[in-house]
Structure 1
Amino acid sequence: MMNRSFFSALAGAALAAVPLAVSTPASAQFEGRSADDVVQVSLLEGWRTDDGRHMAAIQITMAPGWKTYWRAPGEGGIPPRLRLDPSSSVEGLQIHWPRPEVFFTNGMRSIGYRDDVILPVELSLSDDGAVEVDGRLDLGVCLDVCMPVTLDLYGLLPPEGNRDPSIAAALADRPLTRAEAGAGSATCQITPISDGLRVEAQMRVPSVGNDETVVFELSDPGIWISETSSHRDGDLVTAVADVVPPDAGPFAMDRSDLRITVLGTRMAVELQGCTG
């Protein structure tokens, strides 16, 4: 098997603010190019919603041919990770991930975004005025191999702001829910293996296009999940993966915690939880 612990501790979240300051480590070099040559990050400041949250977005622009990664990037990718200053007025955040692409490089599968991407970020705030945020973003940017990059992020979110059509378009490009897609609920068969569990899920999902890929996720980033093997018979999709905890032993998996995403070239569908 592949190295089950590699990248498993990195969580998928990111945040930025305006005006934006970016610093990159001097060691971040690839074929003579610095990180500044490869990736630029800016904040779309967004707007304050009716319920007091703030909808902003990170715009990541990369040099042609380069890519970065989705929250569950596969064995060949590095998920974004945010470390936010705890003294800020941000009490919580949620990224609304647009539908990613599936890449194959040197026989290894990874999942992410090519050239540029807008990641909508919804923030819960403790202050109804302008909010200063300060954090650090770790991410991987890749051509044939990956270059890890660290960006220092800080700035100010306005107390009002205007609805941004580019953020709205990124929100609209997220995976569909089960109800939106007209999909059925998922069932799971769980079998103990020597170092964890084997999970086989079945769900009725309409066609999502070519290059269909199924991804399993759990909320604990320390739990390693293999790439799925999957096949489709009409609307019935069957996917199987191994789930291995940090101590590589038997454990009880909460079926309701399993997030299943079916990715394709036309759309993606996300289902939360499965039944026995």
Structure 2
Amino acid sequence: MIKRTLLSLLASFAFAAPAAATNPYAEMVRLEVLPGWHQANGTHIAALRITLAPGWKTYWRAPGDAGIPPSIRWAGSRNLTNATPQWPTPVVFSQNGMRSVGYKHELILPLVLTPQNVGKPITLKGQLQIGICNDICVPADLSFDLSLPQGATRPDPAIASALASQPFSGDKAGLSAVHCAVSPTADGLLLSADITLPSAGAEEYAVVETADPQVWVAEAETSRTGNRLHVETQLMHVEGGAFALDRSGIRITVLGTRHAVDIQGCPAAP
């Protein structure tokens, strides 16, 4: 059943993806680069600002079964060694009876940029592929190209606000312990996580990710008893068959009505 659902979703995405040049929904979303500022350690903080037309939304890095995962290509950038997105806390919304995770109205996505040569300008050039949704969901392929200023050192308030809205780390949120049990299933693996953590709000929704992009993760079931949160999900390799699971690469994000918590790594119980 899980395999059929996954293959159906992949097939529908493949047939729904038009070329960027013929995308009739491009007017529903605008993209611009916020140039940001240079930091004393040599890195540069910039951001991609995605502005959505009224009623439209886009997706987080782990969008859920009903969403389209975003992708950034940096081809054409100059003097750039690494670019790390810093995702603000998303919201959970329902779509055709399924839950997905993302943003409405606007997304400012901060980027931590590492230059090849400190002191020389960085040029950001590439493509952002995102899903946008209203009554229907479609992919949009958006290009960006901007040379970043070298002398700017004053933080941009919009980018700083987006950085501040990221999920708390486990330590800051009061995480006491996290352990994962893994057992085989007919399609892959069943992962059960027990997390000792104060509540993030009346309604909590957990998203599980792995370090391997070829591993599909089902929507997690989340329940709480006192200070303990239980999260359970199923994992399957997109090509089927057995696969190795790196516990250090497991990432669990708890989204609550008060705040969100980013938990990285999930060792076995002692």
Task: Give the TM-score taking structure 1 as reference length.
Answer: 0.88
Q: For residue 139 of structure 1, what is the aligned residue in structure 2?
A: 130
State whether residues 77 and 122 of structure 2, in contact with CA within 8 Å, keep that contact through their aligned partners in structure 1. no
1:88 CA displacement: 2.1
State whether structure 2 residue 219 is matched by structure 1 residue 227: yes
State whether structure 2 residue 27 is matched by structure 1 residue 3: no
Which deviates more from structure 2 when the two are superposed, residues 128-137 or residues 163-172? 128-137
Determine helix, strand or coil for the equivalent of 1:45.
Answer: strand
- Note the aligned Cα RMSD (angstroms): 1.8
* 2-structure distance, mates of 1:63, 1:210: 30
State whether structure 2 residue 56 is matched by structure 1 residue 66: yes
Q: For residue 201 of structure 1, what is the aligned residue in structure 2?
A: 193
* 2-structure distance, mates of 1:244, 1:160: 48
Q: For residue 82 of structure 1, what is the aligned residue in structure 2?
A: 72
* 1-structure distance, mates of 2:33, 2:106: 13
State whether residues 29 and 53 of structure 2, in contact with CA within 8 Å, keep that contact through their aligned partners in structure 1. yes
Q: 1:258 aligns with which of 250, 254, 262?
A: 250
State whether residues 247 and 265 of structure 2, in contact with CA within 8 Å, keep that contact through their aligned partners in structure 1. yes
Determine helix, strand or coil for the equivalent of 2:144.
Answer: strand
Determine helix, strand or coil for the equivalent of 1:52.
Answer: coil
State whether residues 85 and 134 of structure 1, in contact with CA within 8 Å, keep that contact through their aligned partners in structure 2. yes
Q: For residue 205 of structure 2, what is the aligned residue in structure 1?
A: 213
State whether residues 45 and 112 of structure 2, in contact with CA within 8 Å, keep that contact through their aligned partners in structure 1. yes
> Which stretches in structure 2 are left out of the alignment for 5+ residues?
14-18
Q: For residue 111 of structure 1, what is the aligned residue in structure 2?
A: 101
Letter in 2 for 1:139: I
Q: 2:228 aligns with which of 236, 239, 252?
A: 236
State whether residues 46 and 111 of structure 2, in contact with CA within 8 Å, keep that contact through their aligned partners in structure 1. yes
**In percent, how many aligned pairs have the same letter?**
40
1:7 CA displacement: 5.6
Q: 1:168 aligns with which of 150, 160, 165?
A: 160
State whether residues 90 and 124 of structure 1, in contact with CA within 8 Å, keep that contact through their aligned partners in structure 2. yes
State whether residues 230 and 240 of structure 1, in contact with CA within 8 Å, keep that contact through their aligned partners in structure 2. yes
State whether residues 82 and 138 of structure 1, in contact with CA within 8 Å, keep that contact through their aligned partners in structure 2. yes
1:87 CA displacement: 5.8
Q: For residue 151 of structure 1, what is the aligned residue in structure 2?
A: 142
**How does 1:187-198 map onto structure 2 within 5 Å?**
187-198=179-190
Q: For residue 130 of structure 1, what is the aligned residue in structure 2?
A: 121
Closer, same or farther: CA 88–167 of 1 in aligned 2, 3 Å: same
The size of the alignment, in residue pairs, is: 257
Closer, same or farther: CA 210–61 of 1 in aligned 2, 3 Å: farther
Determine helix, strand or coil for the equivalent of 2:161.
Answer: helix
1:185 CA displacement: 2.6
Task: Give the TM-score taking structure 2 as reference length.
Answer: 0.90
> Which stretches in structure 1 are left out of the alignment for 5+ residues?
11-23
Determine helix, strand or coil for the equivalent of 1:170.
Answer: helix
State whether residues 251 and 265 of structure 2, in contact with CA within 8 Å, keep that contact through their aligned partners in structure 1. yes
Q: 1:49 aligns with which of 39, 44, 47?
A: 39
Closer, same or farther: CA 129–26 of 1 in aligned 2, 3 Å: closer
Q: 2:240 aligns with which of 248, 252, 261?
A: 248
Q: 2:172 aligns with which of 180, 187, 196?
A: 180
